[in-house]
Amino acid sequence: MTKNEFLDALRKNLKGLPESELEERLNFYSEIIDDRMEEGLSEDEAVAAAGNVDEITAQIFKDVPFIKIAKEKIKPKRRLTGWEIALLTIGSPLWISLLVSALAGIFSVYVSLWAVIISLWSVFVSFIVSGVAVCIAGTVFAIFTNNAAGLFMIGSGLVLAGLSVFVFFGCKAATKGLIILTKKTALAVKKCFIKKEAAE
């Protein structure tokens, strides 16, 4: 693949990014290829060393802040006419309330998911604290009053401590899963904005 073919493929994949961002990325990879060629690599080798176009594209989508894409998308491409401004103003009670309610719904679902994660971690902490407390109380009970009841309490405390290990791994997996889901959702929303802009 030649340098121009590489840059054309990259431009095509990144279509929809803000123009300044697109040019900055293309210039960056153009310079990388030029530097490699100055070091003695052939054009094909320099392009291959720059990396795979699809992988580069995926990384750039992750790196570009969503705010930058949203600003570019929201920025009008032309001046609004008088009747467009009037329609936006008249319709604002409807579309603003719908937008706010949609954002509130999304936010509440996200907060609810994190509330579940926090509850799971609370269960984990309560198992550990209860296990330790019951073991201590059982030991005191076994020494000073009833041996059988004290041993039963110690056994119960050890069971709680053992269960806390399983709960810990469950909490860790759930937290990691929600973080991954958050990242993938943010990337999907970002890609939707970029695709819409590219389609225009």
The whole-number pLDDT of residue 70 equals: 62
Q: Judging by beta carbons within 10 Å of its beta carbon (0-12, 13-18, 19+), is residue 69 exposed, middle or buried?
A: buried
The C-alpha atoms of residue 125 and residue 123 are separated, in whole angstroms, by 5
The whole-number pLDDT of residue 78 equals: 65
Q: What is the pLDDT of residues 108-143, one digit of tens each?
A: 998 999 999 999 999 999 999 999 999 999 998 888
Q: What's the first-to-final CA gap in the chain, in angstroms?
A: 29
The whole-number pLDDT of residue 53 equals: 85
Q: Per-residue pLDDT averaged across 40-62, rounded? A: 84
**Six token digits for residue 123:** 């269960």
- Which of 134-138, 154-158, 185-189 is least confident? 185-189
Q: 199 vs 122, which has greater pLDDT?
A: 122
The whole-number pLDDT of residue 168 equals: 94
- φ/ψ bin of 51: left (φ > 0), alpha (ψ from -120 to 50), beta (otherwise): left
Q: What proportion of the chain, given as a percentage, has pLDDT over 90?
A: 27
Do residues 22 and 30 touch, judged by C-beta distance below 8 A?
Answer: no
Q: Is the pLDDT of residue 199 over 50?
A: no
- pLDDT band at residue 19 under the 50/70/90 scheme: confident
Please name the amino acid found at residue 190: K
